[in-house]
Copies of this chain bind each other. A is one copy, B any other.
Amino acid sequence: MPAYTPPLRDMAFVLHEVLTVSESHPDLDPDSTAAILEEAGRIARDVLAPLNAVGDREGCRLENGVVRTPTGFRAAFDLVREGGWTGLDCDPAYGGQGMPYVLATAVGQMAAAANMAFNMYQGLTHGAYSAIHAHGTEEQKATWLPNMVTCAWTGTMNLTEPHAGTDLGLLRTRAEPQEDGSYRITGQKIFISAGDHDMAGNVVHLVLARIAGAPAGVKGISLFIVPKFLVNADGSLGTRNALSVGKLEEKMGIHGNATCVMNYDGATGTLLGEANRGLAAMFTMMNEARIGVGLQGLAQGDAAYQAAATYARERLQGRAVPAPEHPDAPADPLIVHPDVRRALMDQKAFVEGGRAFLLWAATLIDAANAGDAAAHGLVSLLTPVVKGFLTDKGFEGAVQAQQIFGGHGYIEETGASQFVRDARIAMIYEGANGVQALDLVARKLGQDGGKPIMAFFETVKDFIRENEADARLKAGFLDPLKAASRDLQAAAAFFLDNVKTPNAVLAGSTDFLHLFGHVCLGYLWARMAKATLAGTDDFSAAKLATGRYYMARQLPATALHLARIQSGAEPVMALSEEAF
A438 on interface, CB distance cutoff 8 Å: yes
- Asked whether A556 lies within 8 Å of B563 as measured between CB atoms, the reply is yes
Q: A145 within 8 Å of B by Cβ?
A: no
Select one of B249, B312, B337, B567 contacting A552, CB under 8 A. Answer: B567
Contact residues of A between 37 and 52, Cβ < 8 Å to B: none
How many angstroms between the C-alpha atoms of A410 and B250 in the bound complex? Answer: 9
Partner of A167 from the list B160, B331, B548 (CB cut-off 8 Å) is B331
How many copies the complex holds: the figure is 2
Q: Mark A384-423, 1 if CB is under 8 A from B, else 0.
A: 0000000000010001001100111111110001001100
| A368 at the B interface (CB under 8 A) | no
* Contact call A433/B403, Cβ cutoff below 8 A: yes
Q: A345-B571, A510-B339, A573-B341 are in contact. Are A331 and B424 (CB under 8 A)?
A: no
Give the nearest-CB partner of A334 in chain B: B166
A340 to B437, CA, bound (A): 11
Given A251-B412, A313-B580, A318-B167, is A506 in contact with B428 using a C-beta cutoff of 8 Å? no
In the bound complex, do residue B545 and residue A553 qualify as a contact, i.e. CB atoms below 8 Å apart? no
B575-A545 in contact (CB<8A) = yes
Give the A interface residue count (CB, 8 A): 96
- Is the CB of A560 closer than 8 A to any CB of chain B? yes
Please indicate the chain B residues that have their CB under 8 angstroms from the CB of A413 in the complex: 249-250
Interface: A509 (CB within 8 A)? yes
Q: Evaluate contact between A580 and B410: CB separation under 8 angstroms.
A: no
Q: Are B579 and A338 in contact (CB under 8 A)?
A: no
Indicate if A204 sits at the interface (CB-CB under 8 A). no
Query: Are A506 and B249 in touch, CB under 8 angstroms?
Result: no
Residue pair B575, A407 in contact (C-beta under 8 Å): no
Cross-chain contact A338 with B509 (CB below 8 angstroms) = yes
> What sequence of 0s and 1s flags, for each residue 217-246 of chain A, a beta carbon within 8 Å of any chain B beta carbon?
000000000000000000000000000000
A407 partner, pick from B167, B417, B429, beta carbons under 8 A:
B429
A202 on interface, CB distance cutoff 8 Å:
no
A443 interfacial contact with B, CB 8 Å: no
Complex contact B338–A580 (CB within 8 A): no
In the complex, A574 has a CB within 8 A of chain B: yes
Cβ of A182 within 8 Å of any chain B Cβ, yes or no, is no
B338, A569: Cβ atoms under 8 Å?
Answer: yes
- Judge whether B250 and A343 touch: CB under 8 Å: no
Q: Of all chain B residues, which has the CB nearest A347?
A: B580
Q: What is the bound-complex CA distance between A507 and B341, given in angstroms?
A: 8
How far, in whole Å, are A421 and B169 apart by their CA atoms in the complex? 33
Q: Which residues of B contact A333 (CB under 8 A)?
A: 577
DSSP class of A's interface residues: helix, strand, loop or mixed? helix
Does A163 sit at the interface, judged by CB under 8 A?
Answer: yes
A284 within 8 A of B: no
A553-B571 in contact (CB<8A): yes
Residue in B closest to A513 when the chains form the complex, CB atoms: B339
Residues from chain B with a CB closer than 8 A to the CB of A432 are 403, 406
Identity of the chain B residue whose Cβ is nearest the Cβ of A432 in the assembled complex: B406
B250 touches A411 (CB 8 A): yes
Shortest Cβ distance from A254 into B: residue: B410
The answer to whether B579 and A538 touch across the interface, beta carbons within 8 angstroms, is yes
Q: Is the CB of B580 within 8 A of A309?
A: yes
Contacts of A510 in B (CB 8 A): 339, 342-343
Give chain A interface residues in 418-457, CB to chain B under 8 Å. 420-421, 424-425, 427-429, 432-434, 437-438
Q: Is the CB of A343 within 8 A of B434?
A: yes
Check A580–B312 contact: CB distance below 8 A.
yes
The answer to whether the Cβ of A214 comes within 8 Å of any Cβ in the partner chain is no
Q: A569 contacts which chain B residues (CB < 8 A)? A: 338
CA distance A339 to B508 in the complex (A): 8
Residue in B409, B424, B506, B571 whose CB lies within 8 Å of A410: B424
Chain A to chain B: the 9 pairs with minimum beta-carbon distance, closest first: A338-B506, A542-B579, A545-B574, A252-B417, A309-B580, A338-B507, A549-B571, A167-B317, A552-B567
Listed A/B pairs (16) with beta-carbon separation below 8 Å: A166-B318, A167-B316, A170-B317, A170-B331, A252-B421, A313-B577, A335-B577, A339-B437, A341-B573, A342-B510, A395-B399, A549-B574, A552-B567, A552-B571, A556-B560, A559-B560
Beyond the given A165-B407, A341-B575, A556-B563, please list 13 additional residue pairs across the A-B interface where CB-CB is below 8 A. A166-B318, A250-B413, A251-B410, A252-B420, A338-B509, A338-B569, A341-B507, A345-B575, A410-B428, A410-B429, A538-B578, A552-B564, A556-B564
